[in-house]
Amino acid sequence: MNKTIAGFSKMTKDEKIEWIAKHYFSSPDAAIEIVKKYWNSDVVLQQLHDEFIENTITNFYVPLGVAPNFLINGRNYTIPMAIEESSVVAAASKSAKFWATRGGFKTTVIATEKIGQVHFLFAGGSEKLVPFFNQIKPSFFDETEALTKNMRQRGGGILNIELKDKTDLIPNYYQLHVTFETKDSMGANFINSCLEQLAKTLKNKALAYDLFATEEKEIEVVMSILSNYVPNCVVRAEVSCPVEDLKEKHIENPEAFAQRFVQAVRIAEVEPYRAVTHNKGIMNGIDAVVIATGNDFRAVEAGVHAYAAKNGTYSSLSHATIDNGHFRFWLGIPLALGTVGGLTGLHPLVKFCMEMLEKPSAKELMEVVAVAGLAQNFAALRSLTTTGIQEGHMKMHLNNILNQFQVTNEERNVIKSHFKNETISHSAVVNFIETLRK
């Protein structure tokens, strides 16, 4: 059967679903039923969701949970987390409760600078390009005034424009390297609009520049685009306390725990295979809040992982020390986030989450997101260095296994009672279900 189609985007939503069901499913009616089951009964709300992206056929639900009791810079937060992975919200909540009685989380926004670049080719050499750039640099600011006016009124705009010589990497390759301040917006559209205007100015000024030969006047702009690598848009989050204050139910010997914890972090600092999983755990917390607040988790992921490799080897984003009997655990990460624009003004649940966070500024949201990552990392490392990661995770995962096998409430109670003191694994649960049903 031919599964190619012309004009798919012009079909109605029902027509798209019917075509998919007919061409890909042995039971088309059942496929259509499951897709439509996730439509919202509120027609206006459903249309809003339909228009977020192209070729929408239904909604794909991800649970929205909350982690309460976060004490950040002396202020209490309940943090929204949109994520499908079990144990993440529970772990964050547990860390929040642990540190709330030990001084809470401390955060500092180190910088909020964002980057965009105009990538271009010039055949005349840097000895001609540099004086040309210095001469026309004021024009870059003049000819983007209309675009930057509103942002400048809020205290943002274009901070600086530099000429970067990259001819050692690619022949004739140069950049306009532009730094921006976008205040409470993530600023992608603003940055890209400014960059495209800078590219036009660059090309037009080159055509009128007397000191360029004819073949040099045609500067070839390859592309103009923001960068999701923002090493100067960084927030730091940390926790600390006397080592003896780490004592709790699963930490009977706080000195030994602190030593193992620091050693575990040190391993992630030097071993990339461990660092990737270590940082993935951090991103469990970060991504969940980024998604819940309508920000771009893919951009955040790309920038954070590039930052983790900034010294040439992929390494841990978090660090820990013991100094004179004092335990300290922290991370510094780049986060380009927004609290205005994009989905923040459209998605009803994003609005809900922002209000729950008491309508934070972009800087405050950076702090909350970083703390969620640090809390998640602390919970994971505490488990790894005490009871082991699987004990808590598999208890949370048990519900997913039971749902997969559609157990009754009576069966659920028996199974949970059995595994209260037994090791949980997928095979063990499946075997017990089969035995119970016999």
Please report the pLDDT score of residue 200 as a whole number: 98
**pLDDT above 60 for 391:** no
Task: Determine the Cα–Cα distance for residues 105 and 237; give it in Å rounded to an integer.
Answer: 7
Please report the pLDDT score of residue 369 as a whole number: 98
Cα separations in angstroms, 436 against 395, 398, 405, 431, 433:
19, 16, 12, 9, 5
**pLDDT above 70 for 393:** no
pTM higher than 0.85, yes or no?
Answer: yes
Average pLDDT, the chain: 94
DSSP string, 61-119: ---EEEEEEEEETTEEEEEEEE--STTHHHHHHHHHHHHHTTT-BEEEE----EEEEEE
- The verdict on whether 85 is a catalytic residue reads yes
Ramachandran angles phi, psi of 321, nearest 5°: -140, 160
Residue of 205, 347, 393, 397 marked active site: 393
106-109 and 75-82 strand pairing: unpaired
Asked, colleague to colleague, whether 64-111+231-387 and 114-227 share their fold, the answer is no
pLDDT band at 313 (very low <50, low <70, confident <90, very high): very high
What is the CATH number assigned to the segment(s) 64-111+231-387? 3.90.770.10
Helices and strands counted in the chain (H then E): 16, 10
The average pLDDT across 274-281 equals 98
Cβ contacts of 167-176, under 8 Å, gap ≥ 24 = 167/126, 172/121, 172/122, 172/123, 173/119, 173/120, 173/121, 174/119, 174/120, 174/121, 174/122, 174/126, 174/129, 175/117, 175/118, 175/119, 175/120, 176/117, 176/118, 176/120, 176/140, 176/202
Task: Give the Cα-Cα-Cα angle 260, 380, 269 (nearest 5 degrees).
Answer: 60
pLDDT band at 389 (very low <50, low <70, confident <90, very high): low
Q: Give the 3-state secondary structure of residue 241.
A: strand
Please report the pLDDT score of residue 422 as a whole number: 72
Read off the pLDDT of residues 399-410 as tens digits, 9 standing for 90 and up. 778 887 888 888
Please report the pLDDT score of residue 395 as a whole number: 60
Read off the pLDDT of residues 85-97 as tens digits, 9 standing for 90 and up. 999 999 999 999 9
Please report the pLDDT score of residue 396 as a whole number: 60
Residue of 113, 196, 296, 367 marked active site: 296
Read off the pLDDT of residues 178-187 as tens digits, 9 standing for 90 and up. 999 999 999 9
114-227 placed in CATH 3.30.70.420: yes
Read off the pLDDT of residues 55-72 as tens digits, 9 standing for 90 and up. 999 999 999 999 999 999
pLDDT band at 3 (very low <50, low <70, confident <90, very high): confident
Strand order in the sheet with 234-242: 106-109, 234-242, 326-334, 318-323
Residue of 13, 49, 50, 85 marked active site: 85
Ranges of H-type helices in 112-176: 126-142, 145-153
Task: Determine the Cα–Cα distance for residues 94 and 378; give it in Å rounded to an integer.
Answer: 10
**pLDDT above 60 for 392:** no
CA 305 distance to own-chain centroid: 10
Residue found under tokens 């109605």: 12
Domain locations along the chain: 8-50, 64-111+231-387, 114-227, 393-437
pLDDT band at 416 (very low <50, low <70, confident <90, very high): confident
Residue of 137, 280, 319, 395 marked active site: 280
- The verdict on whether 393 is a catalytic residue reads yes
Percent with pLDDT over 90 in the chain: 86
